[in-house]
Structure formats: C-alpha cells, structure tokens
Amino acid sequence: MWPQDPSWKEVLRFAVSCRILTLILQETEHSVDHHAEAFSPPRLAPSGFVDQLVEGLLGGLSRWDAEHFLFIAEHGYLYEHNFAFFPGFPLALLVGTELLRPLRGLLSLRSCLLISAASLNFLFFMLAAVALHDLGCLVLHCPRQAFYAALLFCLSPANVFLAAGYSEALFALLTFSAMGQLERGRVWTSGLLFALATGVRSNGLVNVGFLMHSQCQGFFSSLTMLNPLRQLLKLMASLFLSVFTLGLPFALFQYYAYTQFCLPGSARPIPEPLVQLAVDKDYRIAEGNEPPWCFWDVPIMYSYIQDVYWNVGFLKYYELRQVPNFLLATPVAILVAWATWTYVTTHPWLCLTLGLQRSKNNKTLKKPDLGFLSPQVFVYVVHAAVLLLFGGLCMHVQGR
C-alpha cells in the first residue's frame, strides 16, 4: 500500500525497480540472436575479454537507433543520415566516458560509451520520473494523481527506449524540468532547459508552444494596466525570444551539417572500413558530390534525411503491411483522443478562449477543478492532441 500522499521518494524507489527489471529483461532479449536490417558499423578497435563481457551484458541496449548515438559519440558525424540524431545525447555520453578514463586500459571506447549510456539513462530516467511527479503536483494540485502519472510513465511500454542508448530519457528529463520551471514562473530557466531539449531531439521545437502560451496568458492578465501598447510590445519581444532560443540549437546543427557537406574542404579523414561501409550500404559521406539539399533556398538537411532515408511524410506510412503497427498504437491513440474530448466538453469556454480566459463566471474560479480537469492542464492537452494528429498523419508508428 502506498501512503495517502506519496512523495517523490516513493516515485524514485519505483523508478529504480522498473529500471532494474528492464535491464534484466534486455539481457534476456539480447541472448536471443537475431539479425536486424539496421545501422551496424564495424568495430575498429580490437575487442578484449572485458569488452566482450560488457557487450554481452549491455549489448541489448545498443540496438537500432542506439547504434547511431554510440557511433556519433565515437567517430563524429560521418554519414549523412547520422545527422537525423541530434548531438545532445552523444555529448552527454562523451562526458560520461570521462568518468571511466581510469578503465581505458581495460576497455575500448565503444565499451566505455555503452556503460555510459546504460548508467546515464538509468540516472536520467529516475530524475525524469521525479520531475514528472513534481510537475504533476504543480498542475494537477493532487499529489496522489501526480504519483500515479509518474508510475504510468515508469510502466509505459516505451520504457524500453528510455533504457536503451536512445536520447528519450535525457529529453524527458529536460522537458519535464522545463515545464516545472515554467509553472513556477521561472521563464528564463524554463527557456534554457527547453533549448537544451531541442539540442537533444528535434521535436523539442514543439515545446515553444508552452512558452508562447504562458507569455500570452501574462499579456491578457495585464490588459487592465494603463499602457497596453507597452505590454503588447513586450509580448512581441518575448515571443520572438522564445522562438529564437528554442530554434537556435536546431539552426546551428543544420548549419554544421551544411559546412560538412556543402562547403569545399570541410570533410575530414574517414577510416577505410567506414568508407567501405558507405560504399556497401550506399551511405553518403562528405567527400562525395554535394547532396541536393545543399541547393535549396533554405538548406535544411533534417527534413531531407527524414524523407529520403526514413520515408517520413504525410500519409507515407499508410501501407497494408503496417496494419500491425497501427494496431499496437491504437490504445494510446484512443486514450489521448478520449482525454481530449473529455476535457473539451468539460471546459468548452476555456478551450474556445485557448486557455487565456478560464470562465465567463468568476464565481467558478474560487473552486477550480483538481486533477486532470484543472484549467492548468489545457496547454498539455493541446500538446498531446497536436502530437497525436501530427504523428498519426506524418510519422512512423514506431517513432511515436
């Protein structure tokens, strides 16, 4: 039995238990040999007994996209499609390997990175669960519901991505922390954390909506002041700074990609086995001809990679052979749709005014709804609904 008002300590204990269980399960899964048609670069450094032991224990965390993050941390951005994975998490892995420097005589860099990925994501996952619990307490005004939300986060089937060498755990920690800071009115701290989240995953750009909504709320609450024009100018400046701050990591990363593939003389030496892999798998490297996106009016590499390498686009995933994946995603899609409908029908005026005016009757403000129906939940409901709509029409089911 949980206490009446569970604290963050109970969340932390539960998160640790879930993560330990996940690590045990990944070891069981890794023992089953299977070959996936995924990115699998050759190992350049010799593998000793300790390296083989690390690979045997943690190799299940390096499947699929995790190979990209580990490869980038070890070799940098060599192939064009590596640029679909943002640099925040590989940089965190490199920082983590510094703590393992005394073991570099026994371990290869690959093994150090694998240990770093497992350890850091263990830490990021626990802190993300605690940050979500804190956010839930601020928004839901109900510690018990906040606790259950954190537990569901820990028990989610997507937990496997939070354990593997993916960037999801770090992104969740930064995003939940930024939301919590914004709920406390610390806009600048929140903006910095949101910007760091954008440097980890591209969909961090969507979080600009939280900052913009908060700033618009502040503007409408100050309309009774004597100088509304000044408040309007302040709002416009704040909105610009929000878009600029969150967009800057994305823009800088795209510019870095442009310098590597579109400017002469920027390519760096690539080991021969990795060049041969590019030839065998038809991967584009910087030493070849300039890719077509270099000649676009706005040369954004990210959208090109998503289209060409992963076939991401409007209704491109709607194929008969993908029906099983859609069936797997259906329960969560129904849950988000049901939650959105429930909230809209409960707070029609709040939704019509985009959460900027809570009620036409001020008496209702004295006893605000608690839990999921709290007025503060509006922006999070919109966020979930927009992601569901965009994900259902444009994204791969596996990427939702």
pLDDT of residue 345: 94
Query: What Cα–Cα distance (Å) separates residue 351 from each residue in 131, 183, 223, 346, 355?
Result: 27, 19, 20, 9, 6
Evaluate whether residue 287 is within a structural domain.
Answer: no
Evaluate whether residue 251 is within a structural domain.
Answer: yes
On whether both 142 and 206 belong to a single domain, the answer is yes
pLDDT of residue 222: 75
Evaluate whether residue 130 is within a structural domain.
Answer: yes
Evaluate whether residue 360 is within a structural domain.
Answer: yes
pLDDT in tens, 219-262: 887 776 667 788 888 889 999 999 999 999 999 999 999 999 98
pLDDT at 338 over 50: yes
Percent of the residues in the chain that have a pLDDT greater than 70, as a whole number: 89
CA angle, residues 351, 389, 152, in degrees to nearest 5: 80
Evaluate whether residue 278 is within a structural domain.
Answer: no
**Distance between CA 238 and CA 215 in Å, rounded?**
7
Length of the chain: 400
pLDDT of residue 258: 93
pLDDT of residue 225: 64
On whether both 123 and 240 belong to a single domain, the answer is yes
On whether both 219 and 337 belong to a single domain, the answer is no
Evaluate whether residue 300 is within a structural domain.
Answer: no
On whether both 123 and 191 belong to a single domain, the answer is yes
Its pTM stands at 0.90
On whether both 12 and 106 belong to a single domain, the answer is yes
Instruction: Read off the amino acid at residue 214.
Output: S
**Distance between CA 110 and CA 133 in Å, rounded?**
34
pLDDT in tens, 305-316: 988 888 888 888
DSSP classification of residue 208: H
Are residues 35 and 96 in contact, defined by beta-carbon separation less than 8 angstroms? Answer: no
The stretch 264-290 carries a mean pLDDT of 83
pLDDT of residue 400: 47
On whether both 168 and 247 belong to a single domain, the answer is yes
pLDDT in tens, 1-60: 455 567 777 887 878 887 777 767 665 555 554 455 678 888 887 778 888 888 888 887
pLDDT of residue 301: 93
Domain boundary among 191, 224, 256: 256
pLDDT in tens, 180-228: 999 999 999 999 999 999 999 999 999 999 999 999 988 887 776 667 7
3-state DSSP call for residue 335?
helix
The stretch 275-293 carries a mean pLDDT of 86
**Distance between CA 211 and CA 222 in Å, rounded?**
17
Where is average pLDDT lowest: 195-199, 269-273, 305-309, 318-322? 318-322
Residues 6+ apart with CB under 8 A from 120: 92, 93, 96, 169, 170
Residue-range definition of the domain harbouring residue 109 = 8-26+49-256
Task: Give the distance, in angstroms, between the CA of residue 265 and the centroid of all CA atoms in the same chain.
Answer: 33
Structural domain count, the chain? 2
Domain boundary among 228, 256, 284: 256
On whether both 126 and 13 belong to a single domain, the answer is yes
On whether both 315 and 249 belong to a single domain, the answer is no
pLDDT in tens, 339-367: 999 999 999 999 999 888 655 554 444 45
Domain boundary among 214, 234, 256: 256
On whether both 210 and 318 belong to a single domain, the answer is no
Are residues 55 and 114 in contact, defined by beta-carbon separation less than 8 angstroms? Answer: yes
pLDDT in tens, 96-115: 998 888 887 788 889 999 99
DSSP-derived secondary structure for 289-311: SPPGGGGSSS--HHHHHHHHTT-
Residue that has been written with the tokens 């990944």 in this structure: 26
On whether both 335 and 236 belong to a single domain, the answer is no
Evaluate whether residue 217 is within a structural domain.
Answer: yes
Task: Give the distance, in angstroms, between the CA of residue 379 and the centroid of all CA atoms in the same chain.
Answer: 18
CB-neighbour burial class of residue 71 (10 A; exposed 0-12, middle 13-18, buried 19+): buried
Q: Which two tokens stand for residue 40?
A: 């699998």
Report H helices in the chain. 8-30, 49-58, 65-75, 88-98, 109-140, 143-155, 159-163, 168-183, 187-198, 208-221, 228-261, 272-281, 301-308, 323-346, 348-352, 378-394
Evaluate whether residue 390 is within a structural domain.
Answer: yes
pLDDT in tens, 151-164: 989 888 777 788 88
On whether both 252 and 372 belong to a single domain, the answer is no
pLDDT at 276 over 80: yes
On whether both 250 and 315 belong to a single domain, the answer is no
